A and B are shown apart, each in its own frame.
Chain A
Amino acid sequence: MTNRRFKDIGFEPLLAYLILTVGFFGLSINLFHKTEFAEYIYLLSSLTLIGKLSETRRTEFLKICFGYTKLKKIRVTENLICSLPFLIFLLYKQLFLSGLLLLVLTTILALLNFRTTINFTIWTPFSKRPFEFTTGFRNTFYVFFAAYALTAIAVSVNNFNLGVFAMLLVFATTLGYYTKPENEYYVWAYNVNGKEFLFSKIKTAIFFSTSLALPIAVAIAIFYPQNIGILSLFFFVGWAFLISVIVSKYSSYPDEMNITQGILLALCIWFPPILVVLIPYLFKKSENRLSNLLK
């Protein structure tokens, strides 16, 4: 299934695995370089990731297919394979105790199963205009708390850059709400044409992202009034990226965003003025793609 997903987004699986391996070790080195708590963050993130395999319905399915005894063997093997990259890196860093702890906890996790999704309804301020921010906020609300906490820290330690980072973190999080194509029914249902549909999506995204990022911008602006210009520029860049991701998504709809679009967006991070050309181009392309569903 993983191979199919890579192929769907236009990646040769072998190349994808190579990039992922390099990326994984690059990020690991970076993490251990950046913070003294890396060992704990590393353990926690690996266990969180591996814990996803213990989802009840998944375990039930395996149990029906393979029976109880084989299930345990499969689950332990799965968990050990998934923990291997983390384990190798911990051994490379000579953190033997953490390595052993990871091994033990991984094995215990294989014998447990639990629901990875919570069923109680998380409140969202975006109920009136579903669905991207409504569902996105429920998945990532803790990031906003972290961003607001970072803003407070930025002000208290007199660090403008950290404040800007907190604001961009909010925008980066909301970009993620627009990366996956929705079921065609939720585009078809609109009684507008492609252009109106895109404008409505962009309007909602700008309004809601602003409501999340503005408190940070205002707080930073109050304490760094001399930097309002650069702060406003970053705010506009945040909007521009949000718009570019929306038009990217619908320019390949109903398929997922492809590798070319990913490269174009990456180029924009390197040189944001490209967005001035890219957004109108992708907007036009999106209009064409949506014309089948929206008349």
Chain B
Amino acid sequence: MIAVRNLSKKYGTNEVLKNINIQFDKGKVYGIVGENGAGKTTLFRCIADLEDYEGEISSNPNPIKNHLGLLLTEPFFFQKITGKEYIQLLCNARDIKISDIDNRNIFDLPLNQYASTYSTGMKKKLALTAILLQSNEYFIFDEPFNGVDIQSNIVITEIIHKLKELDKTVIISSHIFSTLSDTCDEIHLLSNGSFIKSVQKADFSALETEMKQMTIGNKIEKLGLT
């Protein structure tokens, strides 16, 4: 369980998160949606304890960062480190002994090649594999489906279902609504640093329609396409 109470975050005078209150329970999958700059990544960084913030974030088990698998939008890779070594590095960091990395390479990545030479999708799959092998309790996936091929998208969706089954807490952000409606129990809409709407599974399609309406409006007409 992760409980976020009165969370605010400022960069200088720019308030990116405004008094956020939310609870993420065990065995549930949460979707966070919002436009670019709405504050999704900042929220994730605060939960991960990568940022200072005002307010309180508590968890059980604690500290959250030692039990959290964080998939960043654009994972960073060292030059001249292979896929296998990357996984080894992240497992060493959590003191996880792992001997059968090749067998657990479900995305068929070229693990003996330098990770920096991987495509965007392959990098994401490698980063995801590494955090899955860390045996975490919580998972934050920031845009897990971006740049990933359709087959792997199916695999990632199944992985999220499995994590739910294993009673893990999963938080996902995605700009592809269908990926969230397939996996999430709840979706929270973040706008200008505040949650403006929270919906349960039954109301996902209504939310999608509302978001389309809100986002598109008459913008296409403004283009004056002929």
Which residue numbers of A lie inside 8 Å of B, CB to CB?
117, 119, 121-122, 127-131, 134-135, 138-139, 182-186, 188-191, 292-293, 295
Contact = CB atoms under 8 A, between A and B. Distances in A.
Interface stretch (B25-33, B110-118, B190-198): B110-118
Given A119-B114, A127-B85, A184 B50 contact: yes
A117 B89 contact: no
B76 A131 contact: no
Which has the most chain A C-beta neighbours within 10 Å: B48, B66, B79, B80? B80
Given A127-B84, A131-B81, A139-B80, 5 more contacts: A119-B117, A128-B88, A130-B89, A185-B70, A293-B49
Nearest to B87: A130
Nearest to B88: A130
Given A134-B85, A188-B48, A295-B49, A129 B66 contact: no
Contact of A127 (B63, B78, B88, B95): B88
A190 B93 CA distance: 4
Given A119-B117, A295-B49, A183 B94 contact: no
Given A130-B86, A131-B81, A135-B81, A191 B50 contact: no
Contacts of B93: 186, 189-191
Which has the most chain B C-beta neighbours within 10 Å: A130, A134, A185? A130
Contacts of B82: 121, 127
Contacts of A186: 76, 89, 93
B109 to A, nearest CB: 14
Contacts of A183: 76
A178 B67 CA distance: 27
B63 A295 contact: yes
A295 B48 CA distance: 12
Interface in B162-177: none
A184 B85 CA distance: 18
A35 B36 CA distance: 60
Interface string B46-87: 001110100000000001011000101001101111101110
Interface string B112-126: 111001000000000
B92 interface: yes
Given A184-B50, A188-B48, A295-B65, A131 B85 contact: yes
Nearest to B113: A121
Contacts, number: 67
B86 A293 contact: no
A117 B82 CA distance: 15
A190 B65 CA distance: 9
A189 B81 CA distance: 17
A198 B182 CA distance: 43
A107 to B, nearest CB: 30
B90 interface: yes
Nearest to A135: B80
B80 A138 contact: yes
A188 B85 contact: no
A117 B79 contact: yes
Contacts of B89: 130-131, 186
B135 to A, nearest CB: 11
A189 B90 contact: yes
A117 B114 CA distance: 11
B65 A188 contact: yes
Contact of B112 (A119, A121, A134, A139): A121
Nearest to B75: A185
Given A119-B117, A122-B80, A135-B80, A189 B85 contact: no
B66 A191 contact: yes
A191 B138 CA distance: 14
Contacts of A128: 88
Contacts of A292: 52
A185 B113 contact: no
Nearest to A132: B78
A134 B89 CA distance: 10
Contacts of A295: 49, 63, 65-66
B78 A135 contact: yes
A191 B94 contact: yes
Nearest to B49: A295
Nearest to A189: B93
A56 B78 CA distance: 20
